[in-house]
């Protein structure tokens, strides 16, 4: 089941990238979408279980930049996954290392593809600078219980 979902996410990521390249006004430029971001949506009952067995009963879906998912919440942490899609779900947030923009909020999610450490199943963190939620943390998203 996970394999087929991963394949679907990869195909969707590739389709989104092709559309963004072909349609004017949809490209990501300067770390932000060229068009207005869609508001984040809370999805109750959207369950996820991470690689450690931690269970989450809802998520928040937001526009995001594609990029690296890191094992821990700081920019020098190993990259364990890659986010290919530009609208993704997140299960919680925590404070971590400050990014260039000064924001130290990081969002916990599962990447679309595994880059390293397969046991993590691409679970890790994206910095707030890559998540377009209007405010940080994203409304409706809980703080991670360990952070």
pLDDT digits (tens, 9 = 90+) for 24-40: 333 333 344 444 567 89
Whether residue 144 is contained in a domain is answered as: no
The whole-number pLDDT of residue 52 equals: 96
Whether residue 139 is contained in a domain is answered as: no
Predicted model pTM: 0.76
Whether residue 145 is contained in a domain is answered as: no
Whether residue 137 is contained in a domain is answered as: no
- The total number of structural domains in the chain stands at 1
The whole-number pLDDT of residue 12 equals: 46
Residue 105 domain boundaries: 2-132
Return the beta strands (E) in the chain as ranges.
28-29, 32-33, 41-49, 55-64, 67-70, 79-83, 87-90, 92-95, 105-110, 113-114, 123-127, 131-132
Whether residue 95 is contained in a domain is answered as: yes
């Amino acid at each position: 089941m996970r394999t087929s979902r991963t394949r679907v996410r990869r195909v969707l990521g590739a389709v989104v990238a092709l559309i963004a390249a072909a349609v004017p006004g949809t490209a990501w430029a300067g770390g932000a979408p060229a068009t207005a971001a869609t508001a984040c949506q809370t999805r109750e009952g959207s369950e996820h279980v991470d690689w450690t067995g931690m269970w989450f009963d809802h998520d928040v879906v937001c526009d995001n930049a594609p990029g690296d998912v890191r094992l821990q919440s700081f920019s020098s942490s190993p990259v364990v996954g890659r986010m290919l899609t530009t609208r993704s779900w997140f299960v919680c947030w925590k404070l971590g290392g400050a990014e260039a923009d000064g924001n130290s909020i990081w969002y916990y999610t599962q990447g679309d593809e595994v880059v390293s450490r397969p046991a993590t199943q691409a679970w890790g963190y994206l910095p707030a600078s890559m998540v377009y939620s209007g405010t940080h943390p994203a409304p409706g998203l809980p703080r991670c219980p360990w952070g």
